Structure 1
Amino acid sequence: MSDKPFSALRPALPILIGASVMLSLSMGLRQSLGIFLPPLTRDLGISVSEFTIAISVQNLAWGILQPFAGALIVRMGFRPMMAGGALLYLLGMILLATAQGVLSLILGAGLAVGAALAATGSAVAMAAATRPVSPKARSLTLGIVSAAGSLGAMLAAPLGQTVIQGWGWRAGAVSFVILAAFMIPAAWYAGKVDRLPRPAPPVGGDLSAGQALSVAMKNLPFVVMAITYFVCGMQLVFLTTHLPTYLELCGLDPMLSAKALATIGAFNALGSLFFGWAGGRWNKLILLGLIYVLRSLAFVWYFYAVPTPTTTLVFAAVIGFLWLGVAPLVSGWIAETFGLRWQAMLSGVAFCLHQLGSFTGAIGGGLAYDLLHNYTLAWQVGAGIGLTAGVVQILTAYATRPRRLAPA
């Protein structure tokens, strides 16, 4: 295979397209669930915090199950895992569309979608995309797949909001059911990666899952990266869950939240391409810390003042550029540090911390709103923790970066 990045991508395109479509729909639908919060809570007579319980369960289930899904891929292969996850995602959307109360909401949008994301989300899609390309093309490939995976929100959020405004939230949920159905053939097509030769074991032997995990947990940069990954989940899920309610609270058009989520998706693609390219040239972990710092500064700028349609879309563009750029950086660093065999599992271990942050961002924002009737405390905590984590990530990555030996 040629070392030139673009020529290296050509034979892998069928797998990459399938993985990108699957990731685009799984992430796009999940990121757009916040548009259902205002109409669903009013119709079913439940509180904001009760709705966010379902989102929190989703993120917790996703995080807990992700390492196991990554480990099972080594035994079962990608196709059974991804196709089964796509079917479960479809079931979750059906349960959402037919929800009659908190319990069915938790089972559908919470547990079913969370478990499905463990098999169709970024950790698995990135692992599948890494296999068919050369190491020199890896970072760029992950950026391209991450960029394509961000386009789902550009479709799901405006479509869902338009249907909700015209025919109600249940009809909007049915539109999500239809979109989720397309994940099944995409996952099946991406499963062609199973036909490729298994990756060679890393230097030092063919490690078991437990041994690979033990090696990773003794690696300081991995531990710090996993801990600071908490911030990524907390900030992003806070936005996708609570931004529609925040804008409604400020008296802005409900359609603005859908436009903001679509803007996030559009700039997400640009940011993913940029950080995929940049990760092949500069220290991935330092770039990761820089993302957290810039996101937190954007939080302070936007939430400190009264929002307007213009500032909301500018904020969405900035956050979108800094959104899924973390995925090629994390997946690429794990692949080049620990090898490909257990990449999905180790990415899942780090992602478990990410999802604990998502749990905190969703339910913490809901509780803060129900108690204080505003989001001031929630965004201040998110920005403060984000700045701290970003600085720690940068300092750790700088201190542990490989040193070049002076010539003899």
Structure 2
Amino acid sequence: MTSPTLSTMKRPWIVILCAALIVTVAMGVRQSFGLFLPQMSIDIDISRSDFGLAMALQNLLFGLAQPFVGAMADKYGAGRVVLAGALLYAVGLVGAALATNALGLHISFGLLIGTAQSATTFVVVLGAVGRVVRPEKRGSAFGIVTAGGSFGQFLVVPIASRLLGDIGYHQTLWLMAGAVALSGLLAIGVAGRGGAATTTENGEQSTREALREAAVHRGYWLLNAGFFVCGFHIAFIATHLPAYLDDKGLRIEIGAQVLALVGLFNILGSYVFGRAGDMLRQKYVLAWLYAARSAVIALFLIAPLTHMSALVFAGAMGFLWLGTVPLTSGIVGRIFGVRYLSMLYGIVFLSHQIGSFFGAWMAGLIFDATGSYNAAWGLSIALGFFAALVHIPIGDAPVRRLQAA
């Protein structure tokens, strides 16, 4: 019989708290990057599509690394992975501060930070949380950790905006690098691997067997399709909304307020949707969430654009922002169990980040070609309704292996 490891002996609240704080720092810094576009585009002499490509590469690497990083966390423990990711994150931020052209930005903001984020955000820490929380409480626990990312956005974005105005983007990136490096100390709170509980739940299932089981599950691929849309929405809005508002005559400071408000309202939204996932069919909640996003975007475009309408949009979209995370990861854990949750959710998150790649880059290309974001907004609306439809037929019952156990 396998003896319990560090993660199974820790009190769940310790793991949840440390996981939430790790995500607070990592996601808070990440969600502020759109504010850097105006200063960096002038100083480095790059176009919006160049900056968008850097963010797109970041999102793509964020996704491509997830299955591998998740598998490493399942095998070696989340703590080691988080620590390595925090240090790499800091190196990437320093590299961005020193970048003198688009290529330097693509390597630092794109490749390095994208890889680092895969080790310091949801996939790794939710796997650690899932192994110490009872199944009927996972949705709420995942919602709390996800809310940490939103609190980071609410906290860090206004600070970053103020620092950008006072000391410029170079020094701001150096300060962010120090904060991210220090957050690596929290890795001790999520250290350890799954122990006896997850071994019993999954038997002697190997990594290859877990992948094969997921590969033939139709609902798993529908989750991938839906999460692609989530990534498109998040990256497009986070990267380009401040510039869109600036183009329409609203100050860049209002863009910072909007992003901060998105984070504030998603603190509530993440917890509410996490709780809803404990009480309702998660796939139906997801379908409603995606349809609501499309409706909110459409109303935002129809209404006259003012400071107030931008704030209302931020609050509504913020409530729906990352509520997909506890629900989607919860469905993966429900269907397949938690032994390989980091790896299997990492694959779904890869689809999310492919969507993010296109959301960040394609919107920049559309703007450079047409001088407007209108086509990107329209595509976002259509994709939201598509995602709502694909979640309805998902078969979310536990696989036979878990039912037998």
TM more than 0.5? yes
Once the two structures are overlaid, the 10-residue window that deviates more, 71-80 or 37-46, is: 71-80
Q: CA deviation at 1:189?
A: 2.8
State the AA in 2 paired with 1:313.
L
Equivalence for 1:118: 118
Once the two structures are overlaid, the 10-residue window that deviates more, 179-188 or 273-282, is: 179-188
TM-score (norm 2): 0.92
Equivalence for 2:401: none
Matches within 5 A, 1:16-95: 16-95=16-95
| Structure 2 portions without partners, runs of 5+ | 1-9, 399-405
Give the whole-Å Cα distance in 2 for the aligned partners of 1:144 and 1:204. 26
Q: CA deviation at 1:42?
A: 1.1
1:104 correspondence with 2:104: yes
State the AA in 2 paired with 1:167.
I
Q: CA deviation at 1:158?
A: 0.5
Asked if the contact 1:69–1:119 (Cα under 8 Å) also holds between the matched residues in 2, the reply is yes
Asked if the contact 1:229–1:350 (Cα under 8 Å) also holds between the matched residues in 2, the reply is yes
Equivalence for 2:253: 255
Q: CA deviation at 1:297?
A: 1.1
Asked if the contact 1:268–1:322 (Cα under 8 Å) also holds between the matched residues in 2, the reply is yes
Q: CA deviation at 1:198?
A: 4.5
Determine which of 359, 379, 382 is the counterpart of 1:381: 379
Q: CA deviation at 1:402?
A: 5.7
Q: Deviations over 1:160-192 (max 9, x none)?
A: 11111122222322332233123211223322x
Asked if the contact 1:225–1:285 (Cα under 8 Å) also holds between the matched residues in 2, the reply is no
Equivalence for 1:4: none
Give the whole-Å Cα distance in 2 for the aligned partners of 1:366 and 1:306. 23
Equivalence for 1:174: 174
Over 3 Å counting, the alpha-carbon distance change for 1:154 and 1:401 in structure 2 is closer
Q: CA deviation at 1:258?
A: 0.9
Equivalence for 1:6: none
Give the whole-Å Cα distance in 2 for the aligned partners of 1:33 and 1:57. 13
Give the whole-Å Cα distance in 2 for the aligned partners of 1:295 and 1:182. 35
State the AA in 1 paired with 2:76.
M
The root-mean-square deviation of aligned C-alpha atoms, in Å, is 1.9
Give the whole-Å Cα distance in 1 for the aligned partners of 2:164 and 2:302. 30
Give the whole-Å Cα distance in 2 for the aligned partners of 1:353 and 1:202. 30
Give the whole-Å Cα distance in 2 for the aligned partners of 1:295 and 1:43. 35
% of aligned pairs identical?
Answer: 35
| Structure 1 portions without partners, runs of 5+ | 1-9, 404-408
Give the whole-Å Cα distance in 1 for the aligned partners of 2:271 and 2:202. 33
Q: CA deviation at 1:13?
A: 1.9
Give the whole-Å Cα distance in 1 for the aligned partners of 2:370 and 2:29. 29
Q: Secondary structure of 1:382's match? A: helix
Matches within 5 A, 1:348-359: 348-359=346-357
Equivalence for 1:5: none
State the AA in 1 paired with 2:222.
V
Equivalence for 2:214: 216
Structure 1 runs (4+) greater than 3 angstroms displaced: 201-205, 400-403
Q: CA deviation at 1:354?
A: 0.6
Asked if the contact 1:368–1:375 (Cα under 8 Å) also holds between the matched residues in 2, the reply is yes
State the AA in 1 paired with 2:220.
F
Asked if the contact 1:93–1:108 (Cα under 8 Å) also holds between the matched residues in 2, the reply is yes
Once the two structures are overlaid, the 10-residue window that deviates more, 326-335 or 178-187, is: 178-187
Asked if the contact 2:34–2:239 (Cα under 8 Å) also holds between the matched residues in 1, the reply is yes
State the AA in 1 paired with 2:274.
G
Give the whole-Å Cα distance in 2 for the aligned partners of 1:330 and 1:24. 20
Equivalence for 2:326: 328
Matches within 5 A, 1:153-164: 153-164=153-164
Aligned length: 391
Matches within 5 A, 1:6-25: 11-25=11-25
Give the whole-Å Cα distance in 2 for the aligned partners of 1:392 and 1:76. 35
Q: CA deviation at 1:96?
A: 1.4
Q: CA deviation at 1:240?
A: 0.5
Give the whole-Å Cα distance in 2 for the aligned partners of 1:120 and 1:20. 11
Asked if the contact 1:299–1:383 (Cα under 8 Å) also holds between the matched residues in 2, the reply is yes
Equivalence for 2:310: 312
Over 3 Å counting, the alpha-carbon distance change for 1:401 and 1:56 in structure 2 is closer
